[in-house]
Structure 1
Amino acid sequence: MARDPETIEREIEQARSALVATLDQLGTKANPQKLADAAKDGVRAKLDDPKIKYPLIGFGALVVVLLVRKLFR
């Protein structure tokens, strides 16, 4: 059974519109600035966790003490 050319054209146009919408969504999701902002927010959230924050502060203080000790020996 042959389909009507107008029906085929309508289906092609609908598929094209759906493809454009999908590409727009992908472009928005893959925006480098948004990805960088999301990564930065994730790191900040991790560093705000006391289980991570305080050991890092302690490690930093230890490094400073060892550097000062090495400089004045």
Structure 2
Amino acid sequence: MARDAETIQAEIERAREALAVTVDELTTRANPKRVVEQGRSTARSLLADPKVKYSLVAVGSLFALVVLRRLFR
């Protein structure tokens, strides 16, 4: 079944529009500022968790103790 030129042209235009929408969405998702802000937001929410916060404080204190002990031996 042969298709006429107008039908083919309409399909091409729909495909172009869909591609343009996809490219715009990818551009938005890959924006470096957006990626950095999303990473910051994730890190802040992770560090706001008391389990993580207190664990990091404990590890930091232990590390400082080990360094001070080596310095004053």
TM over 0.5: yes
Aligned Cα root-mean-square deviation (Å): 1.4
Q: TM-score, normalised by structure 2?
A: 0.83
Query: 1 CA distance for matches of 2:10 and 2:37?
Result: 40
Superposed displacement of residue 24, structure 1: 0.7
Aligned length: 73
Which letter maps to 2:71? L
Gaps of 5+ in 1: none
Superposed displacement of residue 36, structure 1: 2.3
Gaps of 5+ in 2: none
Instruction: Please name the residue that 2:30 is paired with.
Output: 30
Q: TM-score, normalised by structure 1?
A: 0.83
